[in-house]
Amino acid sequence: MTTILAHALVLTVDDRRRVLPDGAVAFDERSGRITAVGPADEVTAAAPSDAAIVDCTDRVITPGFVDTHVHLGEQLGRGLVPDHAGPTEWLPDWLFHLYGALEPDDERTCAELAVAELLLTGTTTFCEAGTLLDWRAAADVVEATGIRGQLGRWTSDQGPDGLPRLETTRAALDANEAMLDGCRDDYGDRVSASVILLGLGTASEPLLREAKELATDRGAGAAVMHASVHPDHGGQLVPAETLEELGWLDGATKLTHAVYVDMEDVERFAEAGVRVAHCPTAALRHVKGLHRYGLIPEMLESGVPVGLGSDSANGSNHFRMLQLMYLAATLYKDFRMDQRMIPPETALEMATRQGAACLWLDDEIGSLEVGKRADLVAWSTEHPEWRPLLHPVQNLVLNAPDRSVESVWVNGQQLVERGRLRTIDLDELLPRADAAASGLLARADLRAPWSWPSEGPGARGHHG
């Protein structure tokens, strides 16, 4: 069955970056693939007689967003870490305890809450950050909700005191192998996996080498959090040269954060085809110093594929890609006092086609082109923030509200309709998430400190 979304303004983000003011996108629900993109009159004239034509007047259609770095498992601890907790406190004092107490049911609820937020804000594909304790819990949620997900499990064989889920090198490798095989054999093609290490400081040299070899052997990508903590805060600098010695400097590598790098690193990343996940909201809140160190404009200029990542519920605190694009398109203008830094068009590419490249899925998703997966978002312009529609890309990146996500399709299946989820029952999920969060925090013996006093019904003792 063919569906045609007709008379929308279509931002294809294809190789020519075509914009179709009265455009249409046709897709086949069975194959989940796009069958035509073009002016509405041409696409409808060439359509099969039984095609369902949906009038998308006052809609802007874009490719679904790709979030390249999402920690699903922190959702039930959102807002737990005090705002003032510094880089040396928030992991050992808070998040290690939270992750240490997570159970598979919690991870399932976390994933459902995350997927609901992602879909309602226009993201159709996410890559887990490599902190899944039970990857099958997340894979089941991806399968059931209809979103597209690339999964990564918690992988570390050394680390500081209190780091949860340490494994032997052999166990970590075997478990990754089982995940790669399990995602391939037991789930549909919306579920994929890559080998994702927690960090360079929490993996031994044998683990780094063999994990990369395993990924290469299986044709999967490999990712690691890189240069995300400043040396003054206990982080280590890992230059491109060291990555090369470890076998990690190639096009099947994704580095997340990559804040503390120099131009020589950037050039070597570009030459090798290394991909970078940029997480602006987490960087701001975790005081990474993007204004001083971030070389994202230079990476883009050099041809490094740079995607956007929303990171975690105690960093970003949200998965709203519109805000990530807004920051990408504005921060560096101010930092460099140069209006030409990262135009809105580039920010939209980072959220779509470049993000797809960061997950090695750019042949399948990231733009609206015939043959690609029908992962797309229809934005309603029937909101004051969208009017007038003088410049659709500026409107989308700088001023569109999240609530203008009207419809979302993944693989040709409609998952959001008139702003409501079709595969997740929020009325059932939200109270279940609250109850799960209470149980989790009680087991972890953690409580979000409030700075202000609480009084009246529901009051609690406070400490700041």
Query: Residue 23 or residue 307: which is nearer to Zn ion going by CB?
Result: 307
Q: With CB under 5 A as the contact rule, which of the stretches 118-126, 178-186, 309-317, 419-427 interacts with Zn ion?
A: 309-317
State the nearest-atom distance from the C-beta of 48 to Zn ion, in Å: 45
Closest to Zn ion by CB, 312 or 411: 312
Q: To the nearest whole angstrom, how small is the minimum distance from the Cβ of residue 216 to Zn ion?
A: 23
Query: Binding string, 149-188, against Zn ion, x = CB under 5 A?
Result: ----------------------------------------
Closer residue to Zn ion in complex, CB, 274/405? 274
Q: Give the residue carrying structure tokens 């990754």.
A: 176
As measured in angstroms, the least distance from the Cβ of 312 to Zn ion is: 6
- The DSSP code for 422 is S
**Per CB under 5 A, 67 contacts Zn ion:** no
**Between residues 154 and 248, which has the closer beta carbon with respect to Zn ion?**
154
Pull the structure tokens for residue 323.
């805000």
- Nearest Cα to Cα of residue 305 among 279, 264, 269, 259: 269
**How remote is the C-alpha of 109 from its chain's centroid?**
18
3-state secondary structure of 330: helix
Q: Which is nearer to Zn ion, 64 or 309 (CB)?
A: 309
Bridge partner residues of 197 (DSSP)? 224
Q: How many binding residues for Zn ion (CB under 5 A)? A: 2
**In DSSP terms, which residues pair with 125 in a beta bridge?**
66, 148
The minimum distance between CB 280 and Zn ion, in angstroms, equals 13
CA distance 251 to 176: 20
Question: Which of 102, 129, 208, 324 touches Zn ion by CB under 5 A?
Answer: 129
The residue length of the chain stands at: 464
Dist. CA 174–CA 409, nearest whole Å: 35
The 3-state DSSP class for residue 60 equals: strand
Q: Maximum distance among all alpha carbons in the chain?
A: 67
Q: Which stretch binds Zn ion (CB under 5 A): 30-38, 75-83, 310-318, 417-425?
A: 310-318
**Among residues 106 and 311, whose Cβ is nearest to Zn ion?**
311
Cβ 228 to Zn ion shortest distance, Å = 7
Q: Which stretch binds Zn ion (CB under 5 A): 185-193, 196-204, 303-311, 451-459?
A: 303-311
Stretch that binds Zn ion, among 14-22, 160-168, 195-203, 307-315 (CB under 5 A): 307-315
Q: Map residues 82-121 to x or -, x wherever contact with Zn ion holds by CB under 5 A.
A: ----------------------------------------
Residue 258 Cβ, how far from Zn ion at the closest point, in Å? Answer: 12
Burial pattern 33-71, b for ≥16 Cβ within 10 A else e, equals bbbbbbebeebbeebeeebebbebebbbbbbbbbbbbbb
Cis bond before residue 453 (omega within 30° of 0): no
**Which run of H or E residues covers position 151?**
strand 148-151
Encoded tokens for 73: 């498992």
- Point out which span in 47-55, 125-133, 321-329, 444-452 binds Zn ion (CB under 5 A): 125-133
Nearer to Zn ion, 43 or 225 (CB): 225
The only residue of 311, 362, 369, 375 in contact with Zn ion, by rule CB under 5 A: 311
Question: Residue 333: in which H helix or E strand, if any?
Answer: helix 321-336
Q: Quick one: 166 exposed, middle or buried, by C-beta within 10 A (0-12, 13-18, 19+)?
A: middle
Work out how close the CB of 259 gets to Zn ion at its nearest, in angstroms, rounded to a whole number. 12
Question: CB 358 → Zn ion: shortest distance, Å?
Answer: 14
Task: Specify the DSSP class assigned to residue 123.
Answer: E
Q: How far is the CB of 75 from Zn ion (least distance, A)?
A: 13
Complex with Zn ion: residue 117 or 311, whichever CB lies closer: 311
Instruction: Rank residues 108 and 257 by Cβ distance to Zn ion and give the closer one.
Output: 257
Only segment of 6-14, 60-68, 129-137, 354-362 that touches Zn ion (CB under 5 A): 129-137
Which range touches Zn ion (CB under 5 A), out of 111-119, 283-291, 306-314, 335-343?
A: 306-314
Structure tokens at 249: 């400097």
Q: What are the distances in angstroms from CA 70 to CA 9, 180, 315?
A: 30, 19, 11
Q: How far is the CB of 309 from Zn ion (least distance, A)?
A: 7
CB 138 within 8 A of CB 111: yes
> Can you name the residues that pair with 8 across neighbouring β-strands?
23
By CB under 5 A, name the binding residues for Zn ion: 129, 311
